[in-house]
Chains A and B, each alone.
Chain A
Amino acid sequence: MNVTLDYGVLAPVLIPALGAVLVLLVDAVLPRLGRWHWAIAAVLLIAGAAACVPAFLSGSDARRTLCLDATQCLYVADRPGSALQTATLVSAAVVALLVLPVRSPADRTPIASALVLTAASGGAGVAAARDLGSWLVLIELATIPTVALVAFRARRSAVDGALSLLTTSLVSFAVLALGAALWFAATGSALLDGDAVLAAAADPQAKRVLVLAVVLIVAGLGFKLSLVPFHAWTPEAYAGASVPIGAFLAVTSKFAALAALLVVLRGVTVLGAPALQAIAVVAAVSMTLGNVMALRESSALRLLAWSTVAQAGWVILPLATVARGAVRAATGYLLVYGLATIVAFAVVTLVAHAEGRGRVVGLSSYAGLFRRRPLAAVTLAVALLTLAGLPPSVVGLVAKVLALRPVAADGLWWLAIVAAVNAMLGLAVYLRWMLAMAGTPAPDTVDDRPHRLHLALVVLGLLALGVTSVAPQLLLGLAG
C-alpha cells in the first residue's frame, strides 16, 4: 500500500507534538530555564498556527495527506477544520503567554508547557483526522493533559476539579469508544466518511446501529463541549484550576471538541434530520441551564464556566439542522466565543496577577474596576458584550444571527424561540457582571501595576474585538 505523506500539511500537528519533546529535551540540557519554557511553547504554537495559513490562501480545496488512494485520505484539513486548527493553536499560544509571568515551581514549568503543547497538538490533529483510530487517540491526547494541568495548582479545589474532570473524561471515553465500535460494526469501515456511511444508511438494520453510534459519539463529546448533562465538571474545574488554565479549558479544549464533533457529523448529515433532534434538545437544555445557573452565580470563574455551558448550546445550535452553512455557522460562532472568552480570561488573569487571585473570584470584588483599571474594565466589558451579542460588539450579534439562521431556515421554530429567550437571559448574565464592575472600588485595593505581557495581550484582545466588530467577516470568514 502506498501512502502519501506531506509534512507541510501535517505541520500544524507535528510542530506542537515535536515541540513537546523539544521542551523536555531543553529542560534536560538547561534545567534552570524556568518560565522561558512557556515562551518556547508559545513560539512553537504560533509556528504551528502559521503552518495553517496556506489553507486560507489556497481557495476552497481541502488540504489532504496520508492518502491511501485518490479518494481515501486519513488526514483532511478543510476550511472549517483549518480554522479550528488555527484557533486551537493560537489560543494555546495565548494561554502559554498568559501563564508565562505566573510564578510556579521551576521543575513543573517544562512539564506543564509540554502538556499544553501535547493537548494543542491533539486538538489540531483531531480536526483533520478521518479514521476512527487516530480520531480516538487524538481526542484523548487533547483531553488527558488538561487533567494534569488543572491538578497542578495543587489546592484542594484544584484536585477536586481535576478528579471531576478525570472521572467524567474516563466515562466519556468509554462512551466514545462504544460509539466508535458501533460505528465500525455498522459501516464495516474504520473511516469516518465515504461510501461506507452511505451503504450503512441504506440498510435499515445497519442504520439503526449507525444512529446509535452517532448519538453515543455526540454524548461522549458532549463532555468535552460542556453540554448539559455532561457538564458537571466544568464549574469545578474552572474554579479549581489557575486562571490561564481555565482559559485553556474554556477555549482551546472547546475548539478541539467542536472539531472532533464536526468530523463525525459531516459524514452523517447525508442521513437526514430527525436524529439531530437529540442535538437540538441538548442545545436547548444547555443554553437554558447554563444561563439560569450563571444568573445566580456569585463567583466570576464559575460564572465563566456556566457561560461556557450556555455558549456550547449556541455552538451546536446550527448543527441541529441539515441546512447548508450549519457547519460554517457553528465554527464561526465558536471562533467568536473563543476570542471573547480568551480576552475575558486575559483580563481576569491580569487582575489576578496584579491584585491576587482572591480579588477576581467573587463578582463583588470587581466593584470599581472601571475606575481602578479602565483599560482592563473596558476590555472585559467589550468581551462580555460580545458574549451577550449586544452592540457595540457587533461581531457577537452577527454570530448569534448566523447561528440562528440555519435553525430558522429549517423551520425549527421551537428551538429558535428557546434560543431567542436565552439570548435575553444571556444579556442579563453578562450585564450583571458589567454592573458589578461599576461603582466605587473597595478601600483595601491593592493597586499594583499589571504585568507588561498581560497588558499587551489585553490591549491586543481589545484591538481584535474592535476590529472584528467593525469587520466581522475577518473572523467569521475564516470558517469558509
Chain B
Amino acid sequence: MNLGIDAPVQPSHLAILLPALGAVVTLVLVRRSSRLAATIAMGASFLGLFGACALLAQQVEGDVARSPRTIGDLALGGGVTAPLRLLVDDWSVLVCVAVALVAFVVQTFARWYLWTDPRYRQFAATVGLFTAAMQLVVLSGDLVLTLVGWELMGWCSYLLIGHESEREKARRAAYKAFLVTRFADAPLLVGIAALAVGARSTDIPTVLRFWLTEPHASATTLTVAVLGIVCGVLGKSAQIPFQDWLPDAMEGPTPASALIHAATMVAAGTVVLARLLPLVQHADHVRLLLVLLAGGTTVVAALLAFFQQDLKKLLAWSTVSQVGIMLTALGVLPVGSGPDTAITHLIGHAAFKALLFLMFGWATVLVGGTVVPRISGVVRRYPELRRMLAVGFLALAGVPPLVGFVSKDLILDSAAHHAADGDGPALLGLVLLGITTVLTAAYAMRAWLIVHHSTVLERRDDRESFEDSYSVENVGIVELFRDSPQVDEWGREIPVADWVASADHDLEPQPGLLPSTGLLILSFLSVVGGAVVASPLLDLDWQSPDWLLIAAALLLMVAAALLVRVASLGTTYGDASERLPQSWRLLASRGLGVDDAYVGLVVRPVLALARTVASLDARLDRGVEATPGLIRSLGDRTSGVHTRRPTSGLLAVVGGVLVVGVLGVALW
C-alpha cells in the first residue's frame, strides 16, 4: 500500500499546524462559550493526533517525506543558509504520536477538570499552542525551527503555570519557570549559533555532517557549543542545577502539569539532545558532565520525591528523576548508536506520567488537595481510582512487564554493556541509575501506601484536630457534615465499612466518557507499551536481556518496597517518611533550599546591577535635564558679545583671521 502524499502539505505539517490552528481559531473566534472552545480545541487536537498517526503509518510503510519543506529559506545573511526543513525519522514519529496522544487526552480531561474556569478558553488555546511547539521541536530538521519551538514552549509554560494568575504563588512559579529556563537558554543560543556559523547552515543533517567529518572543525568550538546546548537542555528538563522550577510549576492546573511533565517541555530537552546525539558523543568531556549532572539529578530527585508531603510534588520530583534517566541514557550510549533507549523511556514515561497526573487531578477534585493528610486513603473511598493509579505507580516503579520496566531495563542494559567496554561515564551512569531504580521503587511504594491507607479512624481524629485549628467561619460546614461519621438515631456511630459503602458515589464528580476513555488508553499503554521495543521503528536489542541484572534490580526493588511497607506500619497516613526526621522532610519540601540559592546567587546580583544602572541612568537623566539651562546661559553669554554694531563684527573677523591663521600654520 502506498501511503505517500505528493502534496506540499504532509502529515508532519498537519501534526504541527493543526493544534496551533485550533489555538488561533479559539482565540480569534470564540468570545465566551467554553463549550465551543472545547469543541474546537479537542477537535484540533484530535486532528493533530490523526495527522501524527498518518505520519506513523507512512513511516511504517516507508512512504514518508523525509525532509518536507516549510516556509522556504530564511535569509540569514553572512553566508549561513537556513533551509527550514522538517526531519522525519523513526523515533521522531513515535515521539510525535505520543505527544499528540497525551495532548489529546489532556485536552479532553481539561474540559472536565476546568468546567467552571472562566478562562478555560485561554487555557485550551495555550495547550494547543504548546502541543504545536513541541511537535515542531520533535519534527524539526533545522536549528532555527528547533529554537522557535523551544522558545514558544517556554512562553506557553509560563502561561500555563501562571493560569491562576490571581494567586501570588502561581505568578511566582510562572516567573520562576520562565526565568530559569531562559537563563539556561542563553548558552543554548550561543551553542546553536556556534554550530550553525561553523557549518554555514542551520540544517541539522548538514551541521552534524560538518562537525563530525570536517577535519579542520575546531574541537574546542564543538565542546563549547555542545556544552551550551547541554546547559539549555538541563534548564528545560529541570536537571541540576536548574531543577527547582519544576516542583514550583505544580501551581499550574493539573492538566497543565500533565502536559508539561509527560510529553512536552521537560521531554523537549531529551528530544533535542537525541537529535544532536552524535555531537555529544563526539565531545567526551561534555558527555561525562551530562552523565554526572543528569545521573546525580536522578538520585537526588528520587530522594526528594520520597520526602515530599504533597503527592503532586512527589510526582514533580519523580519527573525530574525520570527525565534525568533519559538524559543519562543518552550519555551512556557508545559512539555511533542511536538514542532509541532514551526515546523508549520518553514514550513510556509520557504514558504513565500523564496517567498519574490526570488521576491525581481527579483525586484532587474528589478530596480537594494532594497533601498527604487529604489524599491518604483516597482509593479506599473511591475504588474507581484504584486500578488506574495502581497501573501508574507500578509503571513508575518499573515492575515487569509494564512499560517503565522495559525502558529502564534497556537503559541499564546499554549502560552495563558500555561500562563493560571500559567507558567511565557509562560506569558512573550505571551506578547512579541502579541507585535510582531502587529509590524509585521506594517512593512509588510510599505513594501507593498513602493513597491506599485504610486507618480511617486515626485519619478522622487527625482531621478533627486539623479542622479545629481554623476559625469557625473557615470550616466548610457542608463538608464537615458530609465527612462526619454517620450516626444512627441513638447517636451511635454506624460502622465504618457501612459508611464507606453508603456514600453516594453517583453524586461524586466523575470524568465524562472522553476523558475516561483517554485515561483507559493511557493505562493500557502503560501496561503494554513496552511492546514498542519490538517495533521496526526502534533499533533495540531486546531479545537478549541480561537476566542477572534484571534479577538483581528486581530483588533490590522488592527489598526497598518491603522496607517502605514496614516503615509505613502504624503511621497516621500510611506515610513511610514519617519515620524520618521532621527537619529532613521540611528541607525536602523546600527543594533543599535551592530557591534561596537562586535568589542569592542570581536574583540579588542582577537586581543590584539593575539598581546601579538605574541610579546611573537617573544621574545621567539629571545631567540631560540640566543641559537646557546650560545652553541658555551659554546663549546669554554669547549674545552679550553680539552688539549688533558693525565694529564688533569687524573685530570678530580680524580676531578670527588671526586665530585661524595661527591655527593653520601651527598645525600643518
Contact = CB atoms under 8 A, between A and B. Distances in A.
A274 B644 contact: no
A293 B639 contact: yes
A223 B657 CA distance: 10
A275 B661 CA distance: 10
Nearest to B643: A232
B623 to A, nearest CB: 13
A230 interface: yes
Contacts of B655: 229
Interface string B627-668: 010011011101100101010111011111101110111011
Interface string B288-303: 0000000000000000
A196 B664 CA distance: 20
Interface string A210-235: 01101110110011000011111101
B631 to A, nearest CB: 6
Contacts of B656: 219, 222, 228-230
Contacts of B668: 207-208, 211, 274-275
Please report whether the interface of chain B is mostly helix, strand, loop or mixed according to DSSP: helix
Nearest to A207: B668
A215 B664 contact: yes
Given A229-B652, A292-B631, A277 B667 contact: yes
Contacts of A164: 646, 649
A219 B661 contact: yes
A161 to B, nearest CB: 10
A163 B646 contact: yes
A236 B647 CA distance: 13
Interface in A190-213: 207-208, 211-212
Interface stretch (A27-35, A167-175, A439-447, A459-467): A167-175
Contacts of A211: 664-665, 668
Given A171-B653, A175-B657, A215-B664, A232 B642 contact: yes
A281 B663 contact: yes
A171 B652 CA distance: 11
B657 A292 contact: no
A233 B634 contact: no
Contacts, number: 99
A181 interface: no
A168 B649 contact: yes
B625 to A, nearest CB: 13
A425 B638 CA distance: 16
B644 A216 contact: no
Interface centre among A208, A212, A232, A235 (most CB of B within 10 A): A232
A160 B657 CA distance: 23
Contacts of A167: 646, 649-650
Contacts of A156: none
Nearest to A211: B668
A267 to B, nearest CB: 16
Nearest to B656: A229
Interface residues on A, range: 35 or more
A296 B635 contact: yes
A428 B655 CA distance: 30
B216 to A, nearest CB: 36
A172 B653 contact: yes
A348 B663 CA distance: 40
A42 to B, nearest CB: 33
Contact of A296 (B636, B646, B667): B636
Contacts of B663: 215, 277-278, 281
A432 B382 CA distance: 78
Contacts of A207: 668
A90 interface: no
Contact of B664 (A163, A235, A278, A293): A278
Contact of A216 (B635, B650, B654, B657): B657
Contacts of A310: none
A295 B633 CA distance: 11
Contacts of B644: 160, 235-236
A303 to B, nearest CB: 12
Interface residues on B, range: 20 to 34
Contacts of B632: 295-296
Interface centre among B638, B648, B654, B660 (most CB of A within 10 A): B660
Contacts of B646: 163-164, 167-168, 232-233
A18 to B, nearest CB: 34
A231 B648 CA distance: 11
Nearest to B658: A219
B365 to A, nearest CB: 59
Contacts of A425: 631
Interface centre among A214, A215, A281 (most CB of B within 10 A): A215
A214 B639 CA distance: 30
Nearest to B645: A164
A214 B652 contact: no
B655 to A, nearest CB: 6
Contacts of B631: 292, 295, 425
Interface centre among A223, A296, A428 (most CB of B within 10 A): A296
Given A222-B656, A230-B656, A292 B638 contact: yes
A289 B642 CA distance: 11
B596 to A, nearest CB: 47
Contact of A212 (B653, B654, B661): B661
Contacts of B636: 296
Interface in A407-443: 425, 428
B635 A230 contact: no
A398 interface: no
A293 B635 contact: yes
Given A208-B665, A211-B668, A295-B632, A219 B660 contact: yes
Given A292-B635, A296-B636, A278 B667 contact: yes
A450 B213 CA distance: 79
Contact of B634 (A160, A168, A231, A292): A292
A282 interface: yes
A288 to B, nearest CB: 9
A274 B664 CA distance: 8
A475 to B, nearest CB: 30
Nearest to A178: B657
A232 B649 contact: yes
Contacts of A275: 664, 667-668
A319 B665 CA distance: 18
A219 B657 contact: yes
Contacts of A236: 644, 649
A212 B664 contact: yes
A105 to B, nearest CB: 27
Nearest to B655: A229
Nearest to B630: A292
B642 A215 contact: no
A236 B644 CA distance: 7
A214 B663 CA distance: 12
Interface in A213-262: 214-216, 218-219, 222-223, 228-233, 235-236
Nearest to A234: B649
Contacts of B639: 293, 296
Contacts of A163: 646
Interface in B510-532: none
B661 A230 contact: no
Given A278-B660, A296-B636, A215 B653 contact: no
Interface string A289-310: 1001101100000000000000
B650 A212 contact: no
Contact of B635 (A172, A228, A282, A295): A295
Contacts of B653: 168, 171-172, 175, 219, 223, 229-230, 232
Contacts of B638: 289, 292-293
B338 to A, nearest CB: 55
Contacts of A229: 652-653, 655-656, 659
10 contacts: A211-B664, A219-B656, A222-B656, A222-B660, A229-B656, A229-B659, A232-B649, A233-B649, A292-B635, A296-B632
Given A163-B646, A167-B646, A295-B631, 9 more contacts: A164-B649, A208-B665, A218-B660, A218-B664, A233-B646, A235-B644, A275-B668, A292-B635, A293-B642
